Amino acid sequence: MIYLDNCATTKPDPEVLKTFHTVNEKYYFNPSSPHHKGLETNKLLEQARSQIRDILKLKNQSIIFTSGATESNNLLITGMARSKKPFGQTIITSHLEHPSALETVRALESEGFTVKYVEFKDGRLDLEHFKSLLNSDVTLVCLMHVNNVMGAILPITSIKEVLKNYPKVHFHVDCVQSFGKLELPVDAMDSFVLSGHKFNGLKGQGLLVFNQLKTITHTVFGGGQEYGFRSGTVNVANDVALSRAVRIAESERTELYSRTQHFKEQLEHAVQQLPGLYVNSLEEGVPHIVNIGFPGVKGEVIVNAFSKEDICVSTTSACSSKRAKFNEALNALHVPETVIAGSVRVSFDKYTTQSDINRFITVLQQIYREMKELIKDAV
């Protein structure tokens, strides 16, 4: 099997699995228990938190362990918007966001919030348009660092520069597809989220990093764990294993970048040799995501054709492919409608090899030959 759907999820690193197993076996105690075993377990948990703090080069920010980026986005966006409601009710976001941010923001519309969407020009966030959306009613800006469908990189530091003139605005960033691939602009973000299974950790591992913990409205009530922000018995083995995944991913980041950059160039070059096909992903996007457009053919048909050859790729994103008829992110980035329907995402991680890429290109050429007439008619 050749697995090229690493934006959907990645294969867990054996070291992460080992940590999870060992901690579960030896430290299964409740870290809130007052006895010595509870205290030891709690120490392990706090050690994991502080290791992550060091790796991410955090200053005063708090780290909250969650079940994933979906929960982190929900907790922050809902809690922050509600706590700032007396000061303003406008949220700025973009059509590129993951459903865990976009649908949360949209749910807030029914509570009376106004949602505005920043536009994109030539694949880049339009900063002038962003500035035009800002006014005294804006309290929350929710954007992502790297888009999960096209690999577009958003200018987080420049956005923060603009926001310096709007001190009551909280700037929340989804760093799910950038951590382990790019250096995170930690000082430019008021809060951000990570998801363990996107960088060879485990599913159900998430982080919310936040600089104003006390100012937010809680949405999960109970025993007051995770600074009262996320009640529920803490999954210590999961969180310690996440800290391991964070350390490994950061230590391998630069090497992974150059290796995947090489893969991306090869793949894009191969696509450019096949008349009618499009490279949707941007040259200045992240190297681990390549998006290919097959005009006139449905993305699902292409995914199935690769599946028959034991190659896993995906249409848009695993989360939106089951829901949306057409991809909102590709549309916001002005990909033509005929190409959107036939878009396929190929994504790499540290286990992707040169022979995976060679095989993918051979199968791509084969599928192209079979579908050439359909593609030609659509162009």
Residues that bind ligand PLP (CB under 6 A): 68-70, 98, 100, 144, 148, 174, 176-177, 195, 206, 317, 319
Judged by beta carbon, residue 120 or residue 368, the one nearer ligand PLP is 120
Strand ranges across the sheet with 343-347: 278-279, 289-293, 343-347
Judged by beta carbon, residue 171 or residue 368, the one nearer ligand PLP is 171
What is the rounded distance in angstroms from the CA atom of residue 337 to the CA atom of residue 278?
13
Judged by beta carbon, residue 100 or residue 238, the one nearer ligand PLP is 100
What is the rounded distance in angstroms from the CA atom of residue 150 to the CA atom of residue 96?
9
Pair 294, 286: CB distance under 8 Å: no
Q: Rounded to the nearest 5 degrees, what angle is found at the Cα of 114, between the Cα atoms of 112 and 116?
A: 165
Shortest Cβ distance from residue 186 to ligand PLP (Å)?
Answer: 17
What is the rounded distance in angstroms from the CA atom of residue 55 to the CA atom of residue 63?
12
Judged by beta carbon, residue 89 or residue 316, the one nearer ligand PLP is 316
Burial class (CB within 10 angstroms; exposed 0-12, middle 13-18, buried 19+) of 128: exposed
Judged by beta carbon, residue 144 or residue 241, the one nearer ligand PLP is 144
> Three-state SS for 123?
coil
Shortest Cβ distance from residue 175 to ligand PLP (Å)?
Answer: 8
Judged by beta carbon, residue 2 or residue 101, the one nearer ligand PLP is 101
Shortest Cβ distance from residue 333 to ligand PLP (Å)?
Answer: 15
Amino acid sitting at position 353: T
**Element containing residue 41 per DSSP (H, E):** helix 36-55
What is the rounded distance in angstroms from the CA atom of residue 177 to the CA atom of residue 199?
9
Shortest Cβ distance from residue 69 to ligand PLP (Å)?
Answer: 3
Catalytic, 7? Answer no
What is the rounded distance in angstroms from the CA atom of residue 133 to the CA atom of residue 267?
38
Shortest Cβ distance from residue 138 to ligand PLP (Å)?
Answer: 22
Amino acid sitting at position 67: S
Judged by beta carbon, residue 69 or residue 271, the one nearer ligand PLP is 69
What is the rounded distance in angstroms from the CA atom of residue 163 to the CA atom of residue 358?
45
How many helices (H) and strands (E) the chain has is answered by: 12, 14
Closest-approach residue to ligand PLP (CB):
68
Pair 294, 303: CB distance under 8 Å: no
Q: In the beta sheet, which residues pair with residue 278?
A: 293
DSSP string covering 303-338, please? HHHHHHTTEE-BSS-HHHHTT-SS-HHHHHTT--HH
Where do the H-state alpha helices sit in the chain? Answer: 14-26, 36-55, 69-83, 99-109, 127-133, 156-163, 236-272, 299-308, 318-321, 328-332, 337-340, 354-378
Shortest Cβ distance from residue 76 to ligand PLP (Å)?
Answer: 12
Q: Which of 142, 175, 312, 319 is catalytic?
A: 319
State the residue for tokens 């999961």: 238
Shortest Cβ distance from residue 151 to ligand PLP (Å)?
Answer: 11
Q: Which residues are catalytic?
A: 319
